């Protein structure tokens, strides 16, 4: 599913489930949604980085969103598991990253007046991972901040465990 052709996409948000909770991401960042496929593990990477995969000749890193946000302890796959491919910009270039989610839900229009600041307490995930709280169809939905989730400085650190 390609979402880039939507008009007036500033107010459109793709919703999806991670560890039983509903989250949203602006369609502006989303390149496409694909079925979960073969992911090749890369040694010594952080636990949240599932590995890499090949999408039409481009190798992209795959991040398990549940592990990254620390709302899940293990990676679980089912027939609805999907990869949301987002485009990330940095100082040098644009690149793509895949986010593993449990299930893609639907696209909602969430206008600015329906968005609130992130509460300072009560969330299971890091405050910087949530850009706003949106309201759609009577539900409050955390709108994720892709810049915080795809923080290259954090993600590029080698995974190490220390014995206590």
What is the length of the chain? 164
pLDDT in tens, the chain (164 residues): 545 444 456 789 999 999 999 999 999 999 999 999 889 998 877 888 899 999 888 899 999 999 999 888 877 788 899 999 998 877 777 889 999 999 999 999 988 888 777 766 666 778 889 999 999 888 899 999 998 998 877 776 655 444 44
Q: Greatest CA separation found in the chain? A: 54
Whole-model pTM: value is 0.83
Residue 2 lies in a domain: no
pLDDT, residue 46, reads: 82
Residue 73 lies in a domain: yes
Is 100 in contact with 50 (CB distance < 8 Å)? yes
Residue 162 lies in a domain: no
Q: How many domains does the chain have?
A: 1
The separation between CA 130 and the C-alpha centre of its own chain, rounded to angstroms, equals 11
Return the ∠ at Cα 118 (arms to 116 and 122), rounded to 5°.
125
SS3 24: strand
Catalogue the long-range contacts made by 153-157 (C-beta closer than 8 Å, 24 or more residues apart). Answer: 155/46, 155/48, 155/49, 155/61, 155/63, 157/46
pLDDT, residue 9, reads: 66
- First vs last C-alpha separation in the chain: 46
pLDDT in tens, 121-155: 666 778 889 999 999 888 899 999 998 998 877 77
CATH code at 29? 2.40.50.180
Residue 163 lies in a domain: no
Domain residues for 120?
9-155
Residue 61 lies in a domain: yes
pLDDT, residue 155, reads: 72
Residue 1 lies in a domain: no
Return the ∠ at Cα 154 (arms to 19 and 106), rounded to 5°.
35
């Amino acid at each position: 599913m390609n979402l880039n052709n939507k008009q007036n996409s500033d107010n459109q948000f793709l919703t999806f489930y991670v560890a039983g909770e509903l989250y949203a991401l602006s369609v502006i960042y989303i390149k496409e949604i694909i079925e979960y496929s073969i992911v090749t593990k890369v040694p010594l990477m952080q636990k949240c980085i599932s590995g890499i995969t090949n999408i039409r000749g481009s190798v992209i890193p795959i991040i398990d969103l549940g592990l990254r946000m620390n709302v899940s302890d293990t990676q679980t796959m089912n027939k609805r598991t999907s990869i949301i491919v987002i485009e990330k910009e940095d100082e040098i270039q644009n690149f793509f990253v895949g986010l593993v989610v449990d299930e893609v839900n639907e696209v909602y229009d969430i206008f600015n007046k329906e968005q609130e600041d992130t509460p300072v307490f009560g969330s299971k995930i890091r405050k910087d991972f949530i850009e706003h709280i949106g309201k759609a169809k009577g539900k409050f939905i955390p709108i994720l901040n892709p810049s915080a989730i795809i923080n290259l400085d954090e993600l590029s650190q080698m995974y190490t465990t220390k014995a206590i």
